[in-house]
Amino acid sequence: MSTASITIGHASSERPPLVETLHQWVTTVDHKRLGVLYILYALIFLVFGGIEATIMRIQLIRPHNDFVSPEVFNRMFTMHGTTMIFFAAMPIVFGFANYLVPLMVGARDMAFPRLNAFSFWLSAFGGFLLYFSFLGGDGLYGAGNAPDVGWFAYAPLTSQTFSLGHSTDFWILAVFVSGLGSMGTAINIVATVLCMRCPGMTLGKMPLLAWLNLVMGGLVILSMSPLTAAQLMLLIDRYLGGHFFDAQAGGSAVLWMHFFWIFGHPEVYVLAIPAFAFASEIIPVFSRKAIFGYPVMVAATLAIGFISMSVWAHHMFTVGMTAAGNTFFVLSTMAIAVPTGIKIFNWLATMWGGKIQFRTPMLFCVAFLFQFLIAGLTGIMLSAAPFDWQLSGSYFVVAHFHYVIVGGILFTVFGAFYYWFPKMSGRMYNEALGKLHFWLFAIGFHLTFDFMHIPGLLGMPRRIYTYEPGRGWDIWNLIVTIGVFFQAAGTLVFLGNLLWSKWRGVAAGSDPWDAWTLEWSTASPPPAYNFAVLPEVRSRRPLWDLKHPEDPDWHYE
């Protein structure tokens, strides 16, 4: 090592006029600003999706309720699913990836900054297009022209025969356009991780977040395209008189299902793998220990990514595949449980023997471990095809996947917000409000999604705007709806905390958590160029090596 060193300072400047600030934000190609744009965009759509869910839950609070008409309800569940997957969860994942990946691999920006901006604005346009559908028809009161075919838009319900007007087209085009944006971002992430790492950072020395986002990018590239292809086919059917999914002409509704789920299943891993990445960065820091079993964590993630492309028809166990077909997908789905379980054990082992600090990010990650475990176990139940023949299409499945996406993914996303908020804003959030958010949201989450399993076991199908009394479902639906209000309260506390802390929070400094990856070596928020001089690393935790020169990681790796 040399003796020269550079201290990175934070340049202060006068605030420019508002118009110029807006212009900078709209034309930015800086990965950090695009990351923030993605995240803010996702938060807005998270709130919209939450409102749609609340409307549904109020309608279902008791049997034969008439809070909304069946048409409105059907539009609500379609918009809720489409919004949450494509315009809340994916942008959040891309936002954090955009912000963190270049910083963590010691680069100045993503590989293709202008492609980055273009991809963001494409995806954003997709969201606006989808919500534009509310105008038209009866307008907002009747939920307008919003699509009502369910977020997986099964054929032939989506054909011109059964979906008159343009509501389905809004679904197709909005998702298609944002899918192109997603592919651009995924290409960017892969190119950044493979081509822009700082000197010394071999693939085996990257932070796990970089590895997991690399796998996520690969999955998007391979899995988004089948959906794009299927949507092109659907457009051809609807507007050019094609027969891909036209039963009258010999077309196959099952073909759509295959194509959709070939996208749909890897998609949930696209969302889950970055959630794993957040947990893999937060849990070690707050346990004060290195991640346990880094090589196996990488291998398990690669295995998950690979196997996830072969499990899709477990969404189709009820469509009448042969016994052999069903058996194959049972096997592949059960197989994917093994690397996933390994990851849970590794996180647990990271905490074992540590010195655990229960700050807000860690609270969310510990809850994630508990909840993702349950989600995985209900997944194993669903993987047993005969059991799935009862549970599929029921509220049990709805409870399962919300357990994964809310209890697993959203919880780690909240953890990531609190963990990296100091880096992104330069301020500390309010810890008491953070804990309040956690407890409110956790109580609400469990009220809603624990008890939601029961109506499924008692025979309640999904996507119904009302139900018969006397089926034993009433009390559970009531409890499920009550939980929604706790979650809403928690979310409001969260948003309030973010806003208040952004302007009034205590200055955070560059490394408030005493962490070990490269993003904590630069100012908070980082300057536009990230690092004055590109760092050179010798281990997976470069800052640990600097803070513990007597016991650096590269002795052991």
Partner 1 sequence: MSAFSIPVPEHQPQWNLPARGPVAMYCLIAAEAAIFTIFVVAYIFYVGKSATGPQPATVLHAPIFLTVCLLSSSLTIHIAVRSLRKGNVGRFAWWWCGTVVLGGIFLAGTAREWRHLIYQDGLTIQTNLFGTTYYSLVGLHAFHVVMGLGALTLVLAFAIHGDVRPEHSERTEVLSMYWHFVDAVWVVVFTVVYIIGR
Partner 2 sequence: MRIIKNTVPIFYTAAAAWANPASQPLSPTNIFAPASTPADNISALSFLVLAVTGAIFLTVLCLLSYAIVRFREKPTSGLGEPAQVYGSTQVELAWTVIPVLVIVVLFLATVRVIASIQNATPPPGAVEVSVIGHQYWWEYHYAHSNVVTANELHVPVSNPAHPTPTFLTLLSADTDHSFWVPRLAGKTDLIPNHPNSTWIDPHETGLYLGQCAQYCGVEHAKMLLRVYVQTRDQFDHWLAQQSRPAVASDAVDAGRRTFESIACVNCHTIRGTAAVGKFGPDLTHLMSRDTIGAGAALNTPANLRRWIQNPNALKPGCLMPAMGLSDSQLDAVTAYMETLR
Smallest separation (angstroms) from partner 1 to the CB of 501: 17
Of 353, 506, 343, whose CA–CA distance to 422 is shortest? 506
- Identify the H or E element spanning 245: none
Q: Which of residues 224-253 bind partner 1 (CB under 8 A)?
A: 224-226, 228-230, 232-233, 236-237, 240-244, 249-252
Q: 394 in helix, strand or coil? A: strand
Is 513 a binder of partner 2 (CB under 8 A)? no
- Token digits of residue 511: 């490394």
Q: Could you give the angle at the alpha carbon of 520 between the alpha carbons of 514 and 525, nearest 5°?
A: 125
Nearer to partner 2, 349 or 489 (CB): 349
Instruction: Tell me how crowded residue 473 is: count the other CB atoms within 10 A of its CB.
Output: 21
CA distance 165 to 148: 11
Smallest separation (angstroms) from partner 1 to the CB of 519: 11
Smallest separation (angstroms) from partner 1 to the CB of 102: 12
Q: 467 in helix, strand or coil? A: coil
CA 511 and chain centroid, separation: 26
Site string for partner 2, 46-85 (x = CB under 8 A): -----------------------xxx--x-----------
Is 194 a binder of partner 1 (CB under 8 A)? yes
Asked if 311 and 336 touch (Cβ cutoff 8 Å), the reply is yes
Of 158, 309, 178, whose CA–CA distance to 235 is shortest? 158
- Judged by CB under 8 A, the residue of 20, 509, 514, 529 near partner 1 is 509
In sign, the C-alpha dihedral spanning 252, 257, 260, 265 is: negative
CA distance 163 to 235: 13
Is 370 a binder of partner 2 (CB under 8 A)? yes
Q: Which of residues 432-491 bind partner 1 (CB under 8 A)?
A: none
Q: Could you give the angle at the alpha carbon of 541 between the alpha carbons of 536 and 546, nearest 5°?
A: 70
Instruction: Tell me how crowded residue 211 is: count the other CB atoms within 10 A of its CB.
Output: 21
Is 323 a binder of partner 1 (CB under 8 A)? no
Q: 178 in helix, strand or coil? A: helix
Is 289 a binder of partner 2 (CB under 8 A)? yes
Q: Which of residues 161-220 bind partner 2 (CB under 8 A)?
A: 161-162
Is 465 a binder of partner 2 (CB under 8 A)? yes
Asked if 257 and 154 touch (Cβ cutoff 8 Å), the reply is yes
Smallest separation (angstroms) from partner 2 to the CB of 446: 14
Q: 507 in helix, strand or coil? A: strand
Is 549 a binder of partner 2 (CB under 8 A)? no
The partner in contact with residue 203, picked from partner 1, partner 2, none with C-beta cut-offs of 5 to 8 angstroms by kind, is none
Q: What is the DSSP letter of 354?
A: S
Is 221 a binder of partner 1 (CB under 8 A)? yes
Could you tell me the CA-to-CA distances from 75 to 161, 174, 244, 352 in Å, in that order?
18, 15, 25, 47
Is 459 a binder of partner 2 (CB under 8 A)? yes
The partner in contact with residue 48, picked from partner 1, partner 2, none with C-beta cut-offs of 5 to 8 angstroms by kind, is none
Smallest separation (angstroms) from partner 1 to the CB of 176: 12
Q: Which of residues 84-143 bind partner 1 (CB under 8 A)?
A: 111-112
Q: How many residues bind partner 1 (CB under 8 A)?
A: 66
Per the document, the length of the chain is 557
The interface region with partner 1, picked from 44-52, 187-195, 283-291, 428-436 by CB under 8 A, is 187-195
- Judged by CB under 8 A, the residue of 103, 130, 143, 183 near partner 1 is 183
Is 548 a binder of partner 2 (CB under 8 A)? yes
- Judged by CB under 8 A, the residue of 144, 264, 434, 535 near partner 1 is 535
Q: Which of residues 436-455 bind partner 2 (CB under 8 A)?
A: none
Could you tell me the CA-to-CA distances from 245 to 148, 253, 322, 439 in Å, in that order?
18, 5, 21, 47
Is 311 a binder of partner 1 (CB under 8 A)? no
Is 350 a binder of partner 1 (CB under 8 A)? no
Is 298 a binder of partner 2 (CB under 8 A)? no
Residues in a beta bridge with 394: 461
Of 381, 301, 296, whose CA–CA distance to 333 is shortest? 381
Is 393 a binder of partner 2 (CB under 8 A)? yes
Q: 304 in helix, strand or coil? A: helix
Q: Could you give the angle at the alpha carbon of 110 between the alpha carbons of 107 and 116, nearest 5°?
A: 165
The partner in contact with residue 545, picked from partner 2, partner 1, none with C-beta cut-offs of 5 to 8 angstroms by kind, is none
The partner in contact with residue 523, picked from partner 1, partner 2, none with C-beta cut-offs of 5 to 8 angstroms by kind, is partner 1
In sign, the C-alpha dihedral spanning 465, 46, 505, 420 is: positive
- Judged by CB under 8 A, the residue of 150, 200, 242, 527 near partner 2 is 150
The partner in contact with residue 482, picked from partner 2, partner 1, none with C-beta cut-offs of 5 to 8 angstroms by kind, is none
Smallest separation (angstroms) from partner 1 to the CB of 258: 8
Find tokens 């008439």 and name the residue: 66
The interface region with partner 2, picked from 125-133, 137-145, 174-182, 348-356 by CB under 8 A, is 348-356
Of 269, 265, 107, 282, whose CA–CA distance to 209 is shortest? 282
Smallest separation (angstroms) from partner 1 to the CB of 384: 28
**For residue 239, what are the contacts with CB-CB under 8 A and spacing of at least 6?**
none
Q: Which residues bind partner 1 (CB under 8 A)?
A: 1-2, 4-10, 111-112, 183, 186-188, 190-192, 194-197, 199-200, 217, 221-226, 228-230, 232-233, 236-237, 240-244, 249-252, 255, 259, 262, 426, 507, 509-511, 520-524, 531, 533, 535-536, 543, 546
